[in-house]
């Protein structure tokens, strides 16, 4: 039996799954600084800096830009429940797990759900989105920019143009893209954007940055009904993050320190340089996979740099192979979800972990493990 009186000792892991990714030492050190009060003037100055840095990383001047105090799923829920009122028609792109989750939230919020589906491993069909928009007045369109379950990158600009043309708001999930791929909130006309800290931002799981455009804020302010969730009601959350500093919930102070440091590191590296690093290491991984006779599920033009959906060779024992990678190399990779279970590995090259060394380590481990499985 384990001895619960012992201090925990965390094993050394290289996190190359679908998230979390490893955090840089200075992010962990920032988190270990003393906790201060969540209304302390010193802390409020750090909150303002976090908002400024988030705006820079999200490429937006949106005033309403802040981290929600919970993981990426809470960011998803925040964007949807603050915009949807009962009966609102919502067009949701579904080509993997996270589009499905958005659909579930729309129904729970009393919205009229219109699903536009695409096969897993492919991007959404733009003509199908357009015809869904033409069919009836629509409150919002929501799509996942980086579908972590399939490794597909969904281009946003055309979806944005169509949403605007039909008077709908555009909601975009950037949980697995922010900090690894270009996410240009203002230029692409995104009205509500959410992300998570544990992927390409390389900060522990626990916060979900969001940003709302003026159009989205207007929709929020002209609601006829109360936001369905108390905790995620942006009217109240903004009173704490805005000038008034009204208590809503106790901010996770040390997580905000971690995000502060994570964002500072991103801006120090430079966004363009960081995107390029993610692209380069993704290309390197593809070259290594080709040598192993393996490839990726999505077409190259739709393949994420941050999350690689690697198709498994015939006869590979997915579970045994991943277990061996973890025990022998301390290397965590992800398996497939839903219909892709047993068919793909999800290999993350996110943030701090998108390095040449990690690509080399993964391919050496994969080569050995598959060879020993006789594949
Ligand atoms: N959206 C996408 C695309 C994700 O990959 C994830 C998590 O993997 C989420 C939403 C949910 O984030 P979390 O697990 O942090 O709640």
Q: What is the pLDDT of residues 265-291, one digit of tens each?
A: 999 999 999 999 999 999 999 999 999
From ligand 1's centre to the CA of 305, what distance in Å? 17
Contact 350 CB / ligand 1 (< 6 Å): no
In the DSSP assignment, the letter for residue 304 is: -
Q: What phi, psi does 208 have (nearest 5°)?
A: -135, 100
Q: How many Cβ atoms sit within 10 Å of the Cβ of residue 343?
A: 17
Residue 264: band (very low, low, confident or very high) from pLDDT cuts 50, 70, 90: very high
From ligand 1's centre to the CA of 265, what distance in Å? 22
From ligand 1's centre to the CA of 21, what distance in Å? 13
Q: What is the pLDDT of residues 142-176, one digit of tens each?
A: 999 999 999 999 999 999 999 999 999 999 999 99
Angle at 102 between CA 263 and CA 98, to 5 degrees: 65
Helical packing angle, 214-221 and 72-83, nearest 10°: 60
Q: What phi, psi does 270 have (nearest 5°)?
A: 100, 130
**The pLDDT of residue 32 is above 90:** yes
As a whole number of angstroms, the distance between CA 47 and CA 259 comes to 10
Residue 1: band (very low, low, confident or very high) from pLDDT cuts 50, 70, 90: low
Contact 174 CB / ligand 1 (< 6 Å): no
Contact 196 CB / ligand 1 (< 6 Å): yes
Q: What is the pLDDT of residues 188-228, one digit of tens each?
A: 999 999 999 999 999 999 999 999 999 999 999 999 999 99
Instruction: List CB contacts of 7: < 8 A, sequence separation 6 or more.
Output: none
Contact 76 CB / ligand 1 (< 6 Å): yes
Contact 98 CB / ligand 1 (< 6 Å): yes
Q: What is the pLDDT of residues 129-151, one digit of tens each?
A: 999 999 999 999 999 999 999 99
Contact 148 CB / ligand 1 (< 6 Å): yes
From ligand 1's centre to the CA of 23, what distance in Å? 17
**What's the chain's length in residues?**
375
Q: How many Cβ atoms sit within 10 Å of the Cβ of residue 104?
A: 14
Q: Is residue 365 a contact partner of residue 358, using CB atoms and an 8 Å limit?
A: no
Dihedral over Cα of 9, 11, 14, 20: its sign:
negative
Minimum mean pLDDT among 187-191, 250-254, 297-301, 314-318: which range? 314-318
Domains, the chain, ranges and CATH?
14-19+271-372 (3.90.1150.10), 25-267 (3.40.640.10)
Instruction: List CB contacts of 242: < 8 A, sequence separation 6 or more.
Output: none
Contact 205 CB / ligand 1 (< 6 Å): yes
Which pair of structure tokens corresponds to residue 374? 């006789």
Q: What is the mean pLDDT of residues 117-132?
A: 98
Q: Is residue 103 a contact partner of residue 92, using CB atoms and an 8 Å limit?
A: yes
pTM score: 0.98
Contact 173 CB / ligand 1 (< 6 Å): yes
Minimum mean pLDDT among 71-75, 135-139, 336-340: which range? 336-340
Which pair of structure tokens corresponds to residue 242? 């805005």
From ligand 1's centre to the CA of 191, what distance in Å? 19
For the beta sheet containing 307-311, the strands, ordered from the edge strand earlier in sequence to the opposite edge, are 307-311, 344-348, 334-335
Contact 72 CB / ligand 1 (< 6 Å): yes
**The pLDDT of residue 349 is above 80:** yes
Q: What is the mean pLDDT of residues 126-131?
A: 98
H or E element in which residue 113 lies: strand 112-117
For residue 146, give the ligand 1 atom closest to its CA.
3
Q: Is residue 351 a contact partner of residue 199, using CB atoms and an 8 Å limit?
A: yes
Which pair of structure tokens corresponds to residue 321? 């192979």
As a whole number of angstroms, the distance between CA 18 and CA 62 comes to 29
N-to-C CA span, the chain = 38
Contact 261 CB / ligand 1 (< 6 Å): no
Rg (CA), the chain: 21
As a whole number of angstroms, the distance between CA 35 and CA 48 comes to 17
Q: Is residue 54 a contact partner of residue 65, using CB atoms and an 8 Å limit?
A: yes
As a whole number of angstroms, the distance between CA 184 and CA 162 comes to 17
Contact 20 CB / ligand 1 (< 6 Å): no
**The pLDDT of residue 253 is above 70:** yes
For residue 205, give the ligand 1 atom closest to its CA.
15
Q: Is residue 324 a contact partner of residue 345, using CB atoms and an 8 Å limit?
A: no
Q: Which of 20, 72, 171 to mutate to test the pocket of ligand 1 (most atoms within 8 A of CB)?
A: 72
Residue 4: band (very low, low, confident or very high) from pLDDT cuts 50, 70, 90: confident
> Scanning the structure block, which residue is given the tokens 């993997």?
96
**The pLDDT of residue 96 is above 80:** yes
User: What share of the chain in percent tops pLDDT 90?
Assistant: 98
For residue 76, give the ligand 1 atom closest to its CA.
10
Cis before 33? omega within 30: no
As a whole number of angstroms, the distance between CA 304 and CA 298 comes to 9
């Amino acid at each position: 039996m384990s001895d619960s009186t012992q201090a925990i000792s965390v094993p050394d892991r290289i996190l190359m799954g679908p998230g979390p990714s490893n955090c840089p030492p200075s992010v962990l050190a920032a988190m270990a600084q003393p906790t201060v009060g969540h209304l302390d003037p010193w802390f409020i100055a750090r909150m303002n800096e976090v908002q400024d840095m988030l705006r820079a990383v999200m490429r937006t001047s949106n005033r309403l830009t802040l981290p929600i105090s919970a993981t990426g799923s809470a960011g998803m829920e925040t964007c949807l429940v603050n915009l949807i009122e009962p009966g609102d028609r919502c067009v949701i792109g579904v080509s993997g797990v996270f589009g499905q989750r958005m659909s579930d939230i729309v129904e729970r919020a009393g919205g009229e759900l219109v699903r536009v589906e695409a096969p897993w491993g492919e991007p959404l069909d733009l003509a199908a989105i357009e015809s869904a928009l033409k069919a009836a007045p629509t409150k919002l369109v929501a799509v996942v920019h980086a579908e972590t379950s399939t490794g597909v990158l969904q281009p946003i600009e055309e979806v944005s143009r169509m949403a605007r043309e039909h008077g709908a708001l555009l909601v975009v999930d950037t949980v697995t893209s922010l900090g690894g791929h270009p996410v240009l909130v203002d230029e692409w006309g995104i009205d509500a954007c959410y992300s998570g800290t544990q992927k390409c931002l390389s900060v522990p799981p626990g916060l979900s940055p969001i940003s709302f455009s003026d159009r989205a804020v207007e929709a929020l302010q002209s609601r006829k009904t109360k936001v369905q969730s108390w905790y995620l009601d942006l009217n109240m959350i903004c009173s704490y993050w805005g000038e008034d500093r009204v208590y809503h919930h106790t901010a996770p102070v040390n997580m905000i320190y971690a995000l502060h440091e994570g964002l500072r590191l991103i801006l120090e590296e430079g966004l363009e340089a960081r995107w390029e690093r993610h692209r380069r290491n993704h290309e390197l991984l593809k070259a290594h996979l080709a040598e192993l006779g393996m490839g990726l599920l999505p077409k190259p033009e739709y393949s994420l740099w941050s999350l690689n959906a690697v198709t498994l060779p015939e006869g590979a024992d997915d579970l045994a192979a991943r277990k061996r990678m973890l025990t022998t190399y301390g290397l965590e990779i992800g398996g497939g979800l839903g219909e892709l279970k047993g068919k793909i590995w999800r290999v993350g090259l996110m943030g701090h972990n998108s390095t040449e060394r990690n690509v080399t380590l993964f391919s050496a481990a994969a080569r050995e493990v598959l060879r020993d499985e006789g594949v």
